[in-house]
Amino acid sequence: MPDLLLELFSEEIPARMQAKAADDLRRMVTDKLVAEGLVYEGAKAFSTPRRLALTVHGIPARQPDLKTERRGPKVGAPDAAVQGFLKATGLKSLDEAKIQRDPKGDFYIGLIEKPGRDAIDVLAEILPVIIRTFPWPKSMRWGARSGKPGSLNWVRPLHAITATFGLETEEPDVVKFEVDGIATGQTTYGHRFLAPGAIQVRRFEDYEAKLLDAKVVLDPERRKDAILTDAKQLAFAQGFELVEDQNLLDEVAGLVEWPVVLMGSFEQEFLATPAEVIRATIRNNQKCFVVRDPKTGKLANKFILVANIEATDGGATIIAGNERVIRARLSDAKFFYETDLKIKLEDRLPKFEQIVFNEKLGTQAERIKRIEHLAAEIAPLVGADVAKATRAAHLAKADLLTEVVGEFPEVQGLMGKYYALAQGEDGSVAAACEEHYKPQGPADRVPTDPVSVVVALADKLDTLVGFWAIDEKPTGSKDPYALRRAALGVIRLIAENALRLSLTKVAASALAGLSVQPADAQKLPSDLLAFFADRLKVQLREQGARHDLVDAVFALGGQDDLLMIVRRVEALGKFLETDDGKNLLAGIKRASNILGIEEKKDKRTFDGTPDAALYSLDEEKALAKAIGEVTAEASAAVAKEDFAAAMSALAKLRPPVDAFFEKVRVNDDDPKVRENRLKLLNEIRSATRAVADFSKIQD
């Protein structure tokens, strides 16, 4: 079957847009092909700084013929309705229609036959529409046509469109169309400097090969591999080790079509600046990689750049230009760092009184005081030194006002640690200045130092309670204040450090520190707890656990100790994987279903202790005895927080429950016996609620 080759050749596309643009092109074209009945075998898109390319192979040469039936008016309908039906179906007369019998009468049925079109004609119709409606995040118009209505918007000026379609064994045809005066053809262009001439292409295989000859590596993954391999080898040859950076690699691969890796250097004196600042300076300003000495693990005064040209001087001029810019930028960074060191962190804090954190939640200075107060309350609960935790909370945000963080926001927190150490602060206090932002995502490290944990919790809980108080909660996919991330951070801090905290009490303390109080202040902690439950379900689902078990535990009420909730969920999950657990769940579900039906029928509940005098069968007596023993044993185990033992106790209910349902008729003819047996079923449900609400667990 024929293949499609499409290339959109333009001026340089921003690196950050290329990957998504290639994926959008593949998706838009293939979706439209399928919608037109042209089911393809495979598709792949590519991007370079100056082109988007797509190959789709195995496209049928022609659309399938379509036959559809259209229901018309009733037999005997007015002539106007009949004529409209004939016109819509293309029939010449009613003799060409079928009559379909229906309970409501006889109706005319018209068969509409729509012959398929050649795939190349379909492509010529859909491709210009896709190009005109392409979803660039930013686009522009250019040239003489830009002032005309309906002129093309593209990310950068579009110069040529290559579009061919045909069998591998035959000369392909050009898919003929025009967009904004640009007609399709078979001409593309090589590297802007190394091989700028026109290239005639036929299909994808020779297109990719000819581009490679013209110094263009089409596949971005191949460019990344080449850059990474050459950079590692160049660093190794000089006795260094490349500091890998995947995001930078992705960006650099989008800046070059023919990557050439070179190494430059800078003065040794700049290494007195923190390594992270050096790396940020070189990365942000020149898109270069840094290297380190493998013996010491410290940065070396070298950097690796990726050029887009094979220079005749071996790259000496390119290296010198990059060294000149990097030297100037590092000089600025060194000046910023040394200037920052002259001012103590606490001396910067008064400026926060003029900086608004949120219009309703006050200034940054007020927020820092709240975090200090909350940290002092949390510290004893997690075994942290109160004075150190308070001091760390006092200083943690101060580096936001430094010159270095103003220039490189990504090193906030980290610079706070450096400046705290430089002014002689305790190591735990300094570490908390950096780590109180963590964890910032599911892959981020969780702090373990008690002082860092305290300040991280105080910071996140103040944010959550504050925005909850002013009713700025996440809605749908919108979460402008990253409250979901903050909640997940709290969960990970508690779970991974095995902390015992009452979230309800801590949230109430945080709320008390706010100058603004919501109308339903008493409801806020429980409402926020429900949000934590949702986040915990997400966390456990990502770890492969069942989220319905979280519902089963939270349904008991009063559950605000996340560590105990996680442990209870883990024990419940393991129990339900056993035969005893599965069968007991089935029995409890059966009891709950019967109770639900009978409670609805009688419009009452069956609470209260069953009357032992009404037990007439051994199975009733055995179940009642087992419930009493298991309830006591499970409750005692839960009180000791031994959830595995509680599950083992519940397992003892399985045999008597099975025997009860096998031998006992619940809806006995005697109303008193029936009520007593329903109370016994309710006892089963009550006994298991010592561990979880089993009715919330999915089968």
Cis omega before residue 439 (within 30°)?
yes
pLDDT of residue 549: 86
- Of the two residues 352 and 684, the one the predictor is more confident about is 352
CB atoms within 10 A of CB 443: 6
CB 212 within 8 A of CB 195: no
Long-range CB pairs of 628-633 (<8 Å, 24+ gap) are 630/687, 631/686, 631/687, 631/690
- Of 48-62, 258-272, 493-507, 542-556, the one with minimum mean pLDDT is 542-556
Model confidence at 558: pLDDT above 80? no
Model confidence at 303: pLDDT above 80? yes
CB atoms within 10 A of CB 482: 15
pLDDT of residue 497: 95
Tracing tokens 């009357």 back to the chain, one arrives at 611
For residue 357, give the nearest of 348, 347, 368 by alpha carbon.
368
pLDDT of residue 578: 87
Mean pLDDT of 55-74: 88
pLDDT of residue 20: 97
Radius of gyration of the chain (CA): 36
- Of the two residues 695 and 194, the one the predictor is more confident about is 194
d(CA 460, CA 339): 31
Mean pLDDT of 330-345: 97
pLDDT of residue 65: 83
C-alpha of 209 from chain center: 37
State what percent of residues in the chain have pLDDT above 90. Answer: 67
- Of 36-45, 398-407, 570-579, the one with minimum mean pLDDT is 570-579
CB atoms within 10 A of CB 247: 8
pLDDT of residue 566: 85
- What's the one-letter identity of residue 47? S
Model confidence at 32: pLDDT above 90? yes
d(CA 438, CA 460): 10
Q: How confident is the model at residue 144 (pLDDT cuts 50, 70, 90)?
A: confident
CB 71 within 8 A of CB 107: yes
For residue 126, give the nearest of 36, 4, 20 by alpha carbon.
36
d(CA 528, CA 462): 12
* Six token digits for residue 472: 């700025």
Mean pLDDT of 121-136: 97
Helical axes 246-253 vs 15-35, angle rounded to 10°: 70
CB 686 within 8 A of CB 642: no
pLDDT of residue 92: 81
CB 87 within 8 A of CB 32: no
Tracing tokens 């940020």 back to the chain, one arrives at 280
d(CA 212, CA 501): 61
User: What angle (nearest 5°) sits at the alpha carbon of residue 310, between those of residues 309 and 314?
Assistant: 130
Q: Which residues are 4's β-sheet partners?
A: 56, 165
For residue 56, give the nearest of 72, 73, 32, 90 by alpha carbon.
32
Model confidence at 559: pLDDT above 80? no
Q: How confident is the model at residue 443 (pLDDT cuts 50, 70, 90)?
A: confident
DSSP 351: G
- Of 14-28, 414-428, 468-482, 515-529, the one with minimum mean pLDDT is 515-529
d(CA 263, CA 564): 54
Q: How confident is the model at residue 392 (pLDDT cuts 50, 70, 90)?
A: very high
CB atoms within 10 A of CB 293: 13
pLDDT of residue 185: 97
pLDDT of residue 26: 98
pLDDT of residue 161: 98
pLDDT of residue 621: 92
d(CA 261, CA 304): 7
pLDDT of residue 80: 87
Q: Each residue of 571-586: pLDDT tens digit?
A: 888 888 888 888 888 8
Model confidence at 91: pLDDT above 90? no
pLDDT of residue 12: 97
- Of the two residues 87 and 403, the one the predictor is more confident about is 403
Model confidence at 529: pLDDT above 90? no
Which string of DSSP letters, residue by residue, matches 218-278?
A: --HHHHHHHHHHHHHHHHHHTT-EE---HHHHHHHHTT-SS-EEEEEE--GGGGGS-HHHH
Model confidence at 356: pLDDT above 90? yes
Model confidence at 113: pLDDT above 80? no
- Of 151-155, 326-330, 654-658, the one with minimum mean pLDDT is 654-658
Computed over every residue of the chain, the mean pLDDT equals 92
For residue 7, give the nearest of 207, 191, 274, 194 by alpha carbon.
207
pLDDT of residue 79: 86
* Six token digits for residue 44: 């792949």
CB 623 within 8 A of CB 668: no
Model confidence at 557: pLDDT above 80? no
Query: Distances from the Cα of 266 to the Cαs of 114, 260, 289, in angstroms?
Result: 71, 20, 13
Model confidence at 553: pLDDT above 90? no
Overall pTM > 0.85: no
Q: Decide: helix, strand or coil at residue 451.
A: helix
pLDDT of residue 475: 86
- Of 265-274, 454-463, 655-664, the one with minimum mean pLDDT is 655-664
Strands (DSSP E) contained in 534-666 are: none
pLDDT of residue 95: 81
Q: How confident is the model at residue 58 (pLDDT cuts 50, 70, 90)?
A: very high
Model confidence at 420: pLDDT above 80? yes
- Of 137-146, 241-250, 280-289, the one with minimum mean pLDDT is 137-146
Q: How confident is the model at residue 94 (pLDDT cuts 50, 70, 90)?
A: confident
Model confidence at 543: pLDDT above 80? no
Model confidence at 465: pLDDT above 90? yes
Model confidence at 547: pLDDT above 80? no
